[in-house]
Structure 1
């Protein structure tokens, strides 16, 4: 990777870090670095939060589609009425998502095994398994805490070397948290897009001089990762091929030289590289300009726990014919209480089953049928997000290679080709010519027999104009119009032999 690409990716990484936390030196008696690091500690607690978005229209005439999109964005919000952190692996969240004039209540809980989400109107909660165990591989969960500790140490090193933003202030404040009036320390910071780029150089120069800090971090990372790699290597039945052959001291020295050399290379011609980045990144001078602003407000108690926070991020966008926005804003706020107390997460009830959304067999129809038809989320998924919509294009011209056969003035397609694209399930009666196709939208069965014009749809008998047949290539072909319409789709005949199959 050349020097400019390194600079570009590191700049993006640093910018992302600054959105989450801004490293500073002590101000007004508040050890900001320590306070920020304290916020990374996972402690039992209860909290509430909200997040909303604002798309600011460009100063020009907009299309109706752009106006609708902006209205949609500006209507989105997430309200967390109550979040409970029982421990690092056990959490519950109860709140609602707001979308146009719709409100969708939700209940989410997570434990080491997975995450369950209950949405209002759902017959069963959705479930996302977090079991990443690979058969034959060792359980590496015992090493997770050591790796998390290294990540925190890395954050501490980053914070230690970042300079203060130009706008920063600390003062005492009395604020209400969960209805209780508290004496807190208020930290306010503002950071512009311009400042993000100007802060990077002194940060890199300061970090480059901290040989002891860099080597300590690299050594800590080695100590955290090495035992895990040994365990994995033993599981493979190999010696230490996955591991460095050098001693820890040699590995630390080698990696330190790489990191130090990269920092020196990046800072040597920093201003020229910055100018080149802005030239090559269209609109970069706007995004990283004075109108991009991050405002942070943190309220700390005497133990440096964050009890209340507010974030306002404005990203200025370059003017262009393709960009209907002048800027994009994100607002969030929250408060925390019962820190360190014996609180218990409110788990989603999965005792009566759950729908595993990560399973490859879960179809849009299954997801939709999991909701009551009169529920808000059902209409959002079907009408707004259109999760069941499908569109296929077929060409019946014989000179082109398409899975279409014309026979006795009927158009046939391979059964699997059509059912796969319309999310339908196919079942064969072993040793017979009987086929059962399950409509993904309704769950009803369509029964066919190879060589017969008799069929049933949802238990009702129908007579086909032509029978399904097995082609010379081994594929079973079915009448296109019948099967498409039985699966809830419609056919549109276009010019030049094109057929459009659509399903809402």
Structure 2
């Protein structure tokens, strides 16, 4: 069964659809038919492009008050992130490839490439010692969630007949045209919109385009939504026609529901089958009722919760959009910017963020043309990405060259090799215990395994063996003994290895010293304390 996979072009399409909601409408401007532009944008099946997504956070100086140097470094690192996609080739809904960079302001940049098919994705990251492979089959995607194996009924569902790519695309376009006649046709124009002819470089070629510029703020959102809902309710003839059209498409193409193993609701093959006209009327009435309920909710929002709504949707929220449309009414270039300055509410204190800016940019060529994406090729050196789920941070770090930018980011900025275990004083399961001689002891197995180590038992010698991969340390212990062999050297520990309620305990300070960790108690007040183990390996 084919699975869809998020791609940058699809993500940009969502933003595009959201923005076009404010530029599409019943009336064309400068002879530019926005309804057709929107429909065309949702019908793009192949293209080549460049795209970028950028997030900027303007941090208030108070964000750094009381913060550690490590926290400040992370805040500065993530305050300006840009995902740059170059040479994007979208062959169809299943096959795509692109090169890109993840850019952290002026601090660092990491290049990567991704090649995808319906079954496999191969990602190469600058500085990584081997490519990363993602299994996109049903079983593989389950593996990413930590599950494996499909139940028998799910396996049967997975074997359901599929629609081929061409048929699915054609039917999608047919349904889009049917729905669009009602949903898109009723979209109202925004108050501030401008259209003018321009020449823009697209992939290095000067191209004649129509530039659409839209500029609006948060105060205009609720009135526009209300106007749109009112228009949908008023166009009952359009609603009737849309629902009947969708039913007709499904009735004429039973393979759509057959592929999904759904019963065709208007199948007249049985004595008890409902009349198609009644089904259509029932569906239409249901949608009309939902729209009426939404209209009431919007009115209630305006009357009773307008103040709370205005706290977010006000002039501090700004959306700007520039779209460049060619003579085929395909969008060839686009730039969107959303900015927001949070209000300072004394009730919640001073926010550490003074402003947020989100930008999307792209330019496309060869739209719906013949595009051949770079195909993913599996090799023995590939690393299955689902294995990362069970890996410790220090283990993942070893997958990158220690001279690479990504290694420096992971280790010195994000500190993925840091480990922490905490126990609360009121914890019931495997708690920390303070002995009569004031020695703190901790559960051995859970501690070792949480740090990525391995605990084994030798039946012949009746000894416990700890191997800590992070520090390459081996510790041999015996129940009831206060002697330990650490990397071949015998040392005496503060308390003998002790079994309590079936759980093996060891002295915390001795164990953590051997594996290069630090421990300590923190008083949280109200007779609550927390015991923590920390290390960076």
Does residue 292 of structure 1 match 2:317? yes
Q: Distance in 1 between matches of 2:108 and 2:218?
A: 35
| Greater mean alpha carbon deviation, residues 484-493 or residues 257-266 | 484-493
- Whether the aligned pair in 2 keeps the contact of 1:52 and 1:330 (CA below 8 Å) is yes
TM-score by length of 2: 0.75
TM-superposed CA distance for 1:397, in Å, is 9.2
The C-alpha deviation readout for 1:3-28, integer Å capped at 9, x for no partner, is xxxxxxxxxxx999634754333222
The counterpart of 1:78, out of the listed 67, 70, 83, is 83
Q: Distance in 1 between matches of 2:423 and 2:187?
A: 59
Paired position in structure 2 for 1:503: 535
- Whether the aligned pair in 1 keeps the contact of 2:477 and 2:485 (CA below 8 Å) is no
Q: Which runs of 5+ in 2 are unaligned?
A: 1-13, 140-149, 265-271
- Whether the aligned pair in 2 keeps the contact of 1:468 and 1:476 (CA below 8 Å) is no
Change (3 A) 1:231 1:290: closer
Change (3 A) 1:33 1:350: farther
Paired position in structure 2 for 1:18: 18
Does residue 343 of structure 1 match 2:372? yes
Q: Distance in 2 between matches of 1:409 and 1:478?
A: 13
The C-alpha deviation readout for 1:290-347, integer Å capped at 9, x for no partner, is 3422111111222222221111112242223332334311122221123313322264
The C-alpha deviation readout for 1:209-248, integer Å capped at 9, x for no partner, is 2322442476367968742453799xxxxxxxxxx99676
Does residue 112 of structure 1 match 2:118? yes
The counterpart of 1:160, out of the listed 173, 177, 185, is 185
- Whether the aligned pair in 2 keeps the contact of 1:177 and 1:336 (CA below 8 Å) is yes
Change (3 A) 1:275 1:56: farther
Helix, strand or coil at the partner of 1:352: coil
Paired position in structure 2 for 1:238: none
TM-superposed CA distance for 1:56, in Å, is 3.9
Helix, strand or coil at the partner of 2:185: helix
Paired position in structure 1 for 2:211: 186
Q: Distance in 2 between matches of 1:30 and 1:422?
A: 62
Where does 1:436-451 land on structure 2 (aligned, <5 Å)?
436-439=465-468, 441-442=470-471, 444=472, 446-451=474-479
Helix, strand or coil at the partner of 1:80: strand
| Greater mean alpha carbon deviation, residues 265-274 or residues 332-341 | 265-274
Paired position in structure 2 for 1:481: 509
Q: Distance in 1 between matches of 2:436 and 2:174?
A: 68
Paired position in structure 2 for 1:227: 258
Q: Distance in 2 between matches of 1:372 and 1:232?
A: 55
Q: Distance in 1 between matches of 2:370 and 2:459?
A: 60
Q: Distance in 2 between matches of 1:412 and 1:267?
A: 63
Change (3 A) 1:260 1:440: farther
Q: Distance in 1 between matches of 2:181 and 2:400?
A: 46
Helix, strand or coil at the partner of 1:304: coil
RMSD: 4.0
Paired position in structure 2 for 1:34: 36
Q: Which runs of 5+ in 1 are unaligned?
A: 1-13, 234-243
- Whether the aligned pair in 2 keeps the contact of 1:364 and 1:440 (CA below 8 Å) is no
TM-superposed CA distance for 1:165, in Å, is 0.9
TM-superposed CA distance for 1:423, in Å, is 3.4
TM-score by length of 1: 0.79
Helix, strand or coil at the partner of 1:39: helix
Q: Distance in 1 between matches of 2:137 and 2:399?
A: 24
Q: Distance in 2 between matches of 1:286 and 1:213?
A: 40
Q: Give aligned pairs, total.
A: 475
Helix, strand or coil at the partner of 2:188: coil
Change (3 A) 1:379 1:430: farther
Change (3 A) 1:120 1:425: farther
The counterpart of 2:447, out of the listed 409, 413, 418, is 418
The C-alpha deviation readout for 1:423-467, integer Å capped at 9, x for no partner, is 33445568874555443535x35353443667665x544435278
TM-superposed CA distance for 1:176, in Å, is 0.7
- Whether the aligned pair in 2 keeps the contact of 1:218 and 1:255 (CA below 8 Å) is no
Where does 1:191-230 land on structure 2 (aligned, <5 Å)?
191-208=216-233, 209=236, 210-216=238-244, 219=247, 226-230=257-261
Where does 1:246-395 land on structure 2 (aligned, <5 Å)?
251-268=279-296, 270-279=298-307, 281=308, 284-320=309-345, 321-339=349-367, 340-345=369-374, 347=376, 350-357=379-386, 360-394=389-423
Helix, strand or coil at the partner of 2:390: coil
Paired position in structure 1 for 2:144: none
Change (3 A) 1:426 1:399: closer
- Whether the aligned pair in 2 keeps the contact of 1:80 and 1:94 (CA below 8 Å) is yes
Q: Distance in 1 between matches of 2:477 and 2:130?
A: 35
